[in-house]
Structure 1
Amino acid sequence: MNTFFEITGLSQELIIYLAIDITIAILLLGAMKFISGLSAQVNATDELSSQDNFAFGISVAGSIAALGIVLTGAITGENAPSYQMEIIGMLSYGVLGLILIKIGRVIHDRLALNQIDKTEQIKARNITVGLVDAAGAIATAIIIRAVLLWVHGIDVSTFVAIIAGFVVSQAMLVLVTRIKERQYAKNNQNDSMQEAFANGQVALAIRYAGQVISTALAVTAASYFFEYNPETLVSTLTAWLIFSVVMTILVSLLTTLAKSIILWGINLVEEVDQQHNIGVASVEMAISISIALILTALMA
């Protein structure tokens, strides 16, 4: 055993921290599947296997991936003061992340996509709405993770900062959704983007997924400009929100430029909005996320 530790460079302490984190993560991810079924008032196992509801599966996958993203921000490993503190931290942040992801879904339903009933659409096997729901959960998780990495310790100020960061995430997602709705209406004779989701336009959902996830990454990039300080929490979070808008606009402008070059000669409105070209929409999503990732890496 000592030879193993010498060869790999691992320590017994690190193995114990790994076991703690993985065990808690698996339990929480399993809980997320159960809660997803509970919130939709269905048996998750039955809906996934017997009913073969692909839309529900995509929605659950998004929620599980979102929680996994949040948990990466909660792990401290050997930096934790003790095994007990690592357990408390993982459980506290993990449970809080799970709750915020589910609350974010409700807010997304009521404020961002208020013209459709996502739960009923997913139960009716609408894959488009399943994709939109998954994207919203992942975008929310990316910002929560950014806040978890931003704050220090476990106290009242920490949880206030996390909840405030969550509010910022929801405000940004609602703002981006409204902007994209207006753009869609302008390009499609005042048609409703939400109605298009309800009608099953998968290509539009894929593009939207790229837009909300890139927005979340832009908010993350904005976090690198501010230091966490419990005494100036309100002013710092306000500045973060303002700078998040600036970073979102910058990502949008750079993405538009990149699309015009990479997809030169392709009418995006015609291909995605009208012909429902999933291939072109997928490239759009990849460009949006790639530009946001690059900008985030530069800011870090």
Structure 2
Amino acid sequence: MNTLFEITGLNLDLLIFLAIDISIAIILLGAMRFVSGVSAKVSSTDELAKEDNFAFGISLAGSVTALGIVLTGAITGENAESYLMEAVGMFTYGILGLVLIKLGRVIHDRVALNKLNKAEQIKAKNISVGLVDAASTIATAIVIRAVLLWVHGIDISTFTAIICGFIVSQAMLVLVTRIREYQYAKNNQNDSLQEAFENGQVALAIRYSGQVISTALAVTAASYFLSYSPDTLWFNIFAWLVFSIVMTLLVSILTAIAKRIILWGINLVEEVDHQSNIGVASVEMAISISIALILTALMA
């Protein structure tokens, strides 16, 4: 056994921390399925296996992925003071992440997409709405994870920072949604983007998914420039908001340029908005996320 530890670089403490984190993660991921069914007022088993509701499955997949992303920000491993502190931290931040993910979904439903009843549409097997719901949930989780990695310890200041980071993420998602609605209306004789989602425009949902996820990645870039300190918390939160707006605009501009070059000769409005071309929309989503990833990596 000692030889195995020497070869792999593992040790008993690391394996115990791993067992603690994996066990709590599996429990919380299982809880996410239960919570998703309860919040939608349906049986997750029936929706997935009997009704074959792909929209619900996509939405649930987004929630599970989102919680997994949040949990990666809660893991401290061998840096934890003890096994108990690791378990407490993992479970506490995991529960907080689950709550914030669900709260973010409520805010997105009632503020960002206030003209669309996502719960009813998902129950009605609307895949485009399922995609939008999953993307917004993942976007929220990306920002929460960044804040978890930014803060230190478990106290009032860290929870305040996490909540404030969550609020910033929701504000940016609402802002981006309003901008995309304006652009869609401008290009489509004042048609409604939310009505397009309701009508099952999958290509538009894919494009929108790339836009909100890239926005979330842009928001996380602030964590590379601001040092966490309880004494300057409110200044840092304000700076995070300002930096998020600047980064979101920068990502949008670079993405627009990249799309024109990579998709040269293709009328994106005609292909995605009018013909619901899923292939072109998928490339748009990939470009949006790629530009945001590259830019945030450079910032780091």
Question: Normalising by structure 1, what TM-score?
Answer: 0.99
Q: How big is each residue's C-alpha offset from its partner over 1:67-93, in whole Å with a ceiling of 9 and x where there is no partner?
A: 000000000000001000000000000
CA distance, structure 2, for counterparts of residue 290 and residue 221 of structure 1: 14
User: Aligned ranges for residues 1-300 of structure 1 at < 5 Å?
Assistant: 1-300=1-300
CA distance, structure 2, for counterparts of residue 232 and residue 138 of structure 1: 29
CA distance, structure 1, for counterparts of residue 243 and residue 276 of structure 2: 34
Give how far 1:6 is off. Answer: 1.2
Q: How big is each residue's C-alpha offset from its partner over 1:18-59, in whole Å with a ceiling of 9 and x where there is no partner?
A: 000000000000000000000000111111011100000000
Structure 2 runs not aligned, ≥5 long: none
Q: How big is each residue's C-alpha offset from its partner over 1:113-164, in whole Å with a ceiling of 9 and x where there is no partner?
A: 0001000000000000000000000000000000000000100000000000
CA distance, structure 2, for counterparts of residue 171 and residue 207 of structure 1: 20
CA distance, structure 2, for counterparts of residue 257 and residue 222 of structure 1: 23
Give how far 1:222 is off. Answer: 2.0
Amino acid at match of 1:181: E
Structure 1 runs not aligned, ≥5 long: none
Q: How big is each residue's C-alpha offset from its partner over 1:180-204, in whole Å with a ceiling of 9 and x where there is no partner?
A: 0000000000000000000000000
CA distance, structure 2, for counterparts of residue 41 and residue 236 of structure 1: 39
Q: Quote the RMSD (CA, aligned, Å).
A: 0.5
Give how far 1:223 is off. Answer: 2.0
Percent of matched pairs sharing the same residue: 78
Paired residue secondary structure (1:52)? coil
CA distance, structure 2, for counterparts of residue 224 and residue 196 of structure 1: 37
Amino acid at match of 2:193: M
Paired residue secondary structure (1:49)? helix
CA distance, structure 1, for counterparts of residue 233 and residue 221 of structure 2: 18
CA distance, structure 2, for counterparts of residue 39 and residue 295 of structure 1: 36
Moved over 6 A (4+): none
Q: How big is each residue's C-alpha offset from its partner over 1:251-296, in whole Å with a ceiling of 9 and x where there is no partner?
A: 0000001000000000000000000000000000000000000011
Amino acid at match of 1:137: T
CA distance, structure 2, for counterparts of residue 249 and residue 47 of structure 1: 39
Amino acid at match of 1:276: S
Amino acid at match of 1:23: S
* Deviation larger for 215-224 or 244-253: 215-224
Amino acid at match of 1:87: A
CA distance, structure 1, for counterparts of residue 21 and residue 199 of structure 2: 42
Give how far 1:104 is off. Answer: 0.3
CA distance, structure 1, for counterparts of residue 187 and residue 225 of structure 2: 36
CA distance, structure 2, for counterparts of residue 223 and residue 152 of structure 1: 13
Amino acid at match of 2:117: D
* Deviation larger for 3-12 or 81-90: 3-12
CA distance, structure 2, for counterparts of residue 203 and residue 128 of structure 1: 8
Question: Normalising by structure 2, what TM-score?
Answer: 0.99
CA distance, structure 2, for counterparts of residue 280 and residue 47 of structure 1: 30
